Chain A
Amino acid sequence: MVLDVGAVRADFPILNRILPNGKKLVYFDNAATSQKPKCVIDSMTEYYEQYNSNAHRANHTLADEATTALESARENISHFFGTSPENLIYTSGATEAINLVSYGWARYNLKEGDVIVLTEMEHHADIVPWQELSKEKGVEVRYVPIDNENFTLDMEAFEVALEGARLVCVTHTSNVLGIRNPVEQIIEMSKRSGAYVLLDCAQGATHEKINFDELNADFIAISAHKMAGPTGIGCLLATTERIAEMGPFMTGGHIIKKVTTEGSTFQNGHAMLETGTPRIAEAIGWGAAVEWLSKFEMKEVHDHIHKITSWVGKEMKKIPGIRIYGDPTNRNSSGTVSFLHESIQSQDLAMLLDEGGFAVRTGHHCAQPLMDALGVPSTNRASFWIYNTQEEVEEFVVYLRYICERFT
């Protein structure tokens, strides 16, 4: 069955938006955040209009409904990711999920001299927590370089870096290059050498079905807002064994068993790691988003995105002055084209594209080590998702060519 993009688009009111300059919105900033289908917006509105209440620890009807909705979302989301509710810890997003591993697991389990392996492809969210840990605990951080020829990870260097490593933190899919890393191989090699694995699936979860239990990673970090869900929520998926080794990341309400003036004792499992009032509306919205996404075969979604990404990548290469970073035609590429023009500065180019209604991102994309490896300070990035169409990318190529001709 082929994805009916027209029907998909009908679920997204924002895609009909006319911008202040009269141009129709063409949204190509999906790697930053996706748009939200009406059912997600409605589910959150319904919560606030009909049963807004704090979850847990109350006996009234609204609290019961809110608690049920929160936990039912946990169940649906965890099943979507191929695991059990007990293995899902709500966080504010992938960044907090990675910090949770750093503060809640690594600080309790790693010691001076232990080795953490990262890659040059990582988002800052998967670099800075480890640099901070390194300063605090004296752990060694190693970086696996990328191969500048084909923009993929240097797997020989990865094997060398694995020597004595306790933890490997790798992005599933680069937010700059769109390249999907060979995560199955990375996990297998890491496990063989005795290292635990944290996968940053902030990008990857939007392009393929992530099955936590099958992947056999120890931790997976996910953001809801890139996969049709609301901002402000995500999760850490963690194995039961790793959760048992974790300690509180933040302390406060909900996570405690008992508090006396002498001290406190904590709950077990994910309850120990989710302090404060939960993100109830956001969890409900995310639950609605995974239910909406479950209508589609993720392979079809990937095929559709790959088709338009591959086409636009090939066509953009024909525009004089445009250079593409990464290989959008690579079968493992996921909907992202990073590019620069040789004489139009990236920010100028983004502003000029915006004049035509095209929303693309510019900057270092929170991946400065990767920018350094590519030898550029920033790139323009067009990123596509389930609702983008062939017509949109064709219009984009025409307009980009026009801009490049007019401003050089």
Chain B
Amino acid sequence: MEEAGWPSSIDEIIEEFRDCFDSMERYELLFEYAKRHPSPLPEEEWNEENQILGCQSRAHVKCSLDKNANFLLRAGADAQIVQGLMAITAIGVNGLSPIEVTKVSPEYVKEMGLESSLTPSRANGFLNMFKRVLLEAKILSET
């Protein structure tokens, strides 16, 4: 992990977003990432236990360790903006150790020009999902 507070794999994505002409292009790119989620959580696995409360859309997160004992984030949301942000997060955190994941800051979203998604009062749920990821990483790091 770099000092910036997010995995270096996200830097390239930040550059992609910075190259966008305007906010609409950034949202289009985010919608594309939503479709390319590396580890989506299929709707059949959505349940109360992995549901993120406080989201107006349906959002679910399930974190575990892969066969190499590295972090695996699986997430699903019906809102593409949330799903896209979680896809980028998964690209960043999958394969890290759980302890490394606990140190990740969501500030990369701001760098991508999508800072409105980080406002706690926004009901889009990304921040709630992100907090859940950190919590689960902390639990996994202690087991």
Contacting residues of chain B (30-63) with chain A, CB-CB under 8 angstroms: 31, 56-58
Contact with A along B62-95 (1 / 0, CB 8 A): 0000000000000000111110000000000000
Considering the chains assembled together, what is the distance between the CA atoms of A348 and B126 in angstroms? Answer: 12
Could you tell me the distance in whole angstroms from the C-beta of B76 to the nearest C-beta in chain A? 13
Looking at the assembled complex, report how far the CB atom of B91 sits from the nearest CB atom of chain A, in whole angstroms. Answer: 20
Q: Is A347 a contact of B24 with CB atoms below 8 Å?
A: no
- Asked whether, in the complex, the Cβ of A407 is within 8 Å of the Cβ of B31, the reply is yes
Check: A87 CB closer than 8 A to any chain B CB. no
Contact: B80 with A348, CB < 8 Å?
yes
Q: How large is the interface on B (under 10, 10 to 19, 20 to 34, 35 or more residues)?
A: 10 to 19
B28 to A: closest C-beta gap in Å: 7
**Contact between chains at A347 and B81 (CB < 8 Å):** yes
A345 contacts which chain B residues (CB < 8 A)?
A: 57, 78-80
Whether A407 contacts B28 by the Cβ 8 Å rule is yes
**Total A-B residue pairs with C-beta atoms closer than 8 Å?**
39
Contacts of B24 in A (CB 8 A): 352, 355, 406
In the assembled complex, the Cα of A344 lies from the Cα of B57 at a distance in Å of 12
Q: Which residues of A contact B78 (CB under 8 A)?
A: 345
Residues of B within 8 A of A344 (CB): 80
Q: Which of B9-35 contact A (CB under 8 A)?
A: 23-24, 27-28, 31
Which parts of B107-123 form the interface with A (CB within 8 Å)?
Answer: 116, 123
Q: Is A363 in contact with B79, judged by CB distance below 8 angstroms? A: no
Q: Give Cα distance in the complex from A324 to B125, angstroms.
A: 25
Q: Which residues of B contact A352 (CB under 8 A)?
A: 24, 27
Q: Are B79 and A406 in contact (CB under 8 A)?
A: no
CA distance in complex: A377, B31 (Å): 21
B81 proximity list for chain A (CB < 8 A): 347-348, 351
* Contacting residue for B56 out of A354, A355, A363, A406, CB 8 A: A363
Q: Are A347 and B124 in contact (CB under 8 A)?
A: yes
- Chain A residues positioned under 8 Å from B80 (CB to CB): 344-345, 348
CB distance from A244 to the nearest CB of B (A): 43
- Is A347 a contact partner of B56 (Cβ separation < 8 A)? yes
Find out whether the CB atom of B123 lies under 8 angstroms from the CB atom of A406. no
Q: Quick check: A355 and B79 within 8 Å, CB to CB? A: no
Residue numbers in B under 8 Å from A377 (CB-CB):
58
Say yes or no: is A102 at the interface (Cβ < 8 Å to chain B): no
Does chain B have a CB within 8 A of A333?
A: no
Q: Does A378 contact B (CB under 8 A)?
A: yes
B28 touches A347 (CB 8 A): no
Provided the pairs A363-B56, A378-B56 are in contact, do residues A347 and B123 lie with their beta carbons within 8 angstroms? Answer: yes
Q: How far is the CB of A405 from chain B (nearest CB, A)?
A: 11
- Give A348 to B59 CA distance when docked, in angstroms: 13
Name the contact of B116 in the complex, choosing from A351, A362, A378 (C-beta under 8 A). A351
Nearest A residue (CB) for B55: A347
Q: Mark A248-292, 1 if CB is under 8 A from B, else 0.
A: 000000000000000000000000000000000000000000000
Given the complex, which residues of B lie within 8 Å of A346, measured CB to CB?
57
Closest residue on chain B to residue A344 by CB atoms = B80
A362 and B56 CA atoms in complex are apart in Å by: 8
> Is A21 located at the chain interface by the 8 A CB criterion?
yes
B58 CB contacts on chain A under 8 angstroms: 377
Question: Which of A355, A363, A378 is in CB contact (< 8 Å) with B23?
Answer: A355
A363 to B124, CA, bound (A): 11
Known: A345-B79, A362-B56. A351 touches B31 (CB 8 A): no
CA distance A363 to B81 in the complex (A): 16
Check if A347 sits within 8 Å of B27, measured CB to CB: no
Chain A positions 348 through 377: 1 when the CB is less than 8 Å from some CB of chain B, otherwise 0: 100110110000001100000000000001
C-alpha spacing A279/B24, complex, angstroms? 44
CA of A56 to CA of B58 in the docked complex: distance in angstroms?
50
Neighbouring B residues of A348 by C-beta, 8 Å:
79-81
CB B124 to nearest CB in A, in angstroms, measures 6
Q: How many whole Å from A182's CB to the nearest CB in chain B?
A: 32
Residues in B whose Cβ lies below 8 Å from that of A351:
27, 81, 116, 124
Q: How far is the CB of A231 from chain B (nearest CB, A)?
A: 15
B123–A363 CB distance below 8 A? yes
How close is A377's CB to chain B, nearest CB, in angstroms?
8
Which chain A residue has the least Cβ–Cβ distance from B122?
A: A351
Nearest-CB distance from A130 to chain B (Å)? 25
CB distance from A113 to the nearest CB of B (A): 35
14 A-B pairs in the complex with CB atoms less than 8 angstroms apart: A344-B80, A345-B78, A345-B79, A345-B80, A347-B56, A347-B81, A347-B124, A348-B79, A351-B27, A352-B24, A352-B27, A377-B58, A378-B57, A407-B28
B residues near A (Cβ < 8 Å) are 23-24, 27-28, 31, 56-58, 78-82, 116, 123-124
In order of increasing CB-CB distance, the 5 nearest A-B pairs are A347-B79, A347-B57, A363-B56, A345-B79, A348-B79
Extra A-B contacts (7), CB below 8 Å, given A355-B24, A362-B56: A347-B79, A347-B82, A351-B116, A354-B116, A355-B23, A378-B57, A407-B31
